[in-house]
Amino acid sequence: MAHLIIDQTAVTVQSVSSTDASGAPFAEEGFIIPVVIPLSEVGDWLAAYDPASSTSPTAADSRKIARAVLDALSSAV
């Protein structure tokens, strides 16, 4: 999987009212963690992901994503 970039300087705590990826509305106060996926790598990300498969993305790729987000959260807290 391509690499993942977190904009640590832009991590903030905010109140957000929006909709999630499924279209469900939500209102929460929480950390906003900007994830940057370079346009040159979007194809690689999407090629490695099958939304119909419960084993996609791979455990290794999922761990990379989770660790990047959790490292950003840990630094912010």
Q: State whether residue 9 is helix, strand or coil.
A: helix
Whole-prediction pTM value? 0.83
> Strands 5-6 and 35-36: what pairing?
antiparallel
Give the containing element (helix H, strand E) for 65. helix 59-76
- Cα dist from 68 to 36, 46, 77, whole Å: 11, 18, 14
What per-residue confidence (pLDDT) applies to 9? 95
Q: What is the pLDDT of residues 38-50, one digit of tens each?
A: 999 999 989 989 9
Query: Which whole number is the average pLDDT over 47-68?
Result: 92
Instruction: Give the residue extent of every domain in the chain.
Output: 5-76
User: 18, 26 in Cβ contact below 8 A?
Assistant: yes
